Structure 1
Amino acid sequence: MTEDTQADTDRHNMKMAKKKAARDKIMSTKTEEKGLIIVHTGKGKGKSSAAFGMVFRAIAHDMKSAVVQFIKGGMATGERDLIESRFSDVCEFHTMGEGFTWETQDKSRDIEMAQAAWAKAKELIRDETNRMVLLDEINIALRYDYVDVNEVVAFLRDEKPPMTHVILTGRNAKEELIEVADLVTEMELIKHPFRSGVKAQAGIEF
């Protein structure tokens, strides 16, 4: 190793040591543990996928979980099939929707199903044995006012058990929900194969 290479290595090691010391100092102040309100929104793909990743992570930690799907329901999905066949003892799965609104073309039925899904969601969240509850595509129901966002916010703020994580997915999350959330991620669309004529595929979209 040349002197210049050794000098570069030493500078790098010193820089990383300073970064580690600074990060360790920051991490030492993070002592609180609580159930989080998590929102995945935006036009990009990955909102539900990331949420299910969290559910599977929770399952791996033996954390009892539950899923309520507000819109999806007309077709089988890998997540639902896997949870129901392998993890039904630790994760309830409720598909309450009947498809997207442009498929059902029945607003009163959509509202009825969304309200039923919200009632089931409240029941699951109130059960303190459920450490994580995913409300998949609830933002769609909130966007069309099938469920009152103020009611959802009030429930999460006042009735959610302190150690329960709740994930809410879907485009166009309302500001009231973003305000009450602890963690909000917006998926940005850069490219999507659908625009190039590629259909939805197993393992990617469902």
Structure 2
Amino acid sequence: MTEDIDRHAAKMAKKKAARDKIMATKTDQKGLIIVHTGKGKGKSSAAFGMIFRCIAHDMQCAVVQFIKGGMSTGERDLILGKFADICAFHTMGEGFTWETQDKTRDIEMAQAAWAKAKDLIRDPDNKMVLLDEINIAMRYDYVDVREVVAFLLAEKPPMTHVVLTGRNAKDPMIEAADLVTEMELVKHPFRAGIKAQIGVEF
């Protein structure tokens, strides 16, 4: 038993030394372009986790929702009720396109959301800006992905993080991003006839 403990300690010490050597080379800081995409659940949830981290660190941040309409959600109600002074929250969409059934209106709303997003990103006081479901708006070409990429590369302040969520992120957005996570769908209760659950989905 003592031999196993000693062997484990030596192995972990070697691993720590290697890790410390790698970490010593990571000295740069920058505002990241972060993409959460894929068919699995958790894209917006993970992004809001980062927003709440910013709030906890007293970092000014902002959210623009491109698709989701006026439905009450836990994260929006909490931010508007408790943290509106540090996190601006703009719900600009009117629901998914199959609900509105008005492409012209959807495009207008997406363009208005993008205009608001650009204003928020340009403000260097905002340390993180979440563009919730913008990937869907870009998928349907309501917002031009090339314009989004060009803007982020040219006008985003150096230390501002921008998070873009939604399925089907386009290749130019993935290529421009610093961090890309694809949520993989393994199993979902919706397929078993279970509707969205409060506290889990909204």
TM-score by length of structure 2 reads 0.99
Distance (Å, rounded) in 2 between the aligned partners of 1:161 and 1:123: 12
Amino acid at match of 2:180: V
Amino acid at match of 2:121: I
Distance (Å, rounded) in 1 between the aligned partners of 2:54 and 2:19: 26
Match of 1:63 in 2: 59
Distance (Å, rounded) in 2 between the aligned partners of 1:164 and 1:62: 14
Amino acid at match of 2:64: V
Match of 1:187 in 2: 183
Q: 1:166 aligns with which of 162, 166, 186?
A: 162
CA RMSD of aligned residues (A): 0.4
Match of 2:99 in 1: 103
Paired residues, number: 202
Distance (Å, rounded) in 1 between the aligned partners of 2:86 and 2:69: 21
Shift of 1:197: 1.1
Match of 2:109 in 1: 113
Aligned sequence identity (%): 81
Q: Secondary structure at the residue paired with 1:19? A: helix
Is 1:81 the counterpart of 2:77? The answer is yes
Amino acid at match of 1:151: E
Is 1:153 the counterpart of 2:164? The answer is no
Amino acid at match of 2:81: S
Distance (Å, rounded) in 1 between the aligned partners of 2:179 and 2:57: 21
TM-score by length of structure 1 reads 0.97
Q: 1:49 aligns with which of 45, 52, 73?
A: 45
Distance (Å, rounded) in 2 between the aligned partners of 1:101 and 1:73: 11
Q: 1:34 aligns with which of 11, 30, 51?
A: 30
Distance (Å, rounded) in 2 between the aligned partners of 1:58 and 1:42: 24
| Deviant stretches of 4+, over 2 Å | none
Shift of 1:74: 3.3
Unaligned runs of 5+ in 1: none
- Higher-Rg structure is 1
Is 1:125 the counterpart of 2:121? The answer is yes
Unaligned runs of 5+ in 2: none
